[in-house]
């Protein structure tokens, strides 16, 4: 079963909107938030916790779909939902071995 990982940088409301939009897609098997322990780590500690950095956070979502066609639809819906709120979205996967 293909698995899609995506990261959303924005506030919690934006992440929830994207997750809810994906939940509404037919045939999506599972949608789950994943703890990303590296999201608070920065290579450059001189700018850590500045006011510009405090308003947004990175959230990771894992989605399982039955096939690549549904996976492509998930990517499209997630991109539209995040883009309409001006959030950054990054797709990680699916792994080649999982398709």
Please give the tally of structural domains in the chain: 1
Scanning the structure block, which residue is given the tokens 């506030």?
Answer: 11
In the predicted structure, residue 41 carries a pLDDT above the cut 60: no
In a domain, 48, yes or no: no
Contact 38, 92 (CB under 8 A): no
The predicted model gives 72-97 an average pLDDT of 86
In a domain, 47, yes or no: no
Cβ-based neighbours of 70, under 8 Å, separated by 6 or more: 25, 27, 28
In the predicted structure, residue 78 carries a pLDDT above the cut 90: yes
pTM of the predicted structure, to 2 decimals: 0.76
In a domain, 68, yes or no: yes
**pLDDT tens digits for 49-69?**
554 555 679 999 999 999 999
CA atoms of 38 and 43, how far apart (whole Å) = 11
Phi, psi torsion values for 54, nearest 5 degrees: -80, -20
């Amino acid at each position: 079963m293909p698995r899609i990982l995506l990261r959303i940088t924005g506030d919690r409301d934006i992440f929830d909107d994207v997750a809810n939009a994906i939940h509404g897609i037919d045939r999506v098997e599972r949608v789950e938030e994943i703890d990303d322990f590296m999201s608070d780590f920065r290579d450059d500690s001189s700018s850590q916790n500045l006011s510009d950095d405090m308003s947004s956070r990175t959230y990771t979502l894992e989605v399982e779909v039955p096939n690549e066609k549904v996976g492509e639809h998930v990517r499209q819906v997630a991109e539209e939902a995040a883009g309409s709120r001006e959030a950054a979205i990054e797709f990680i996967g699916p792994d080649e071995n999982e398709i």
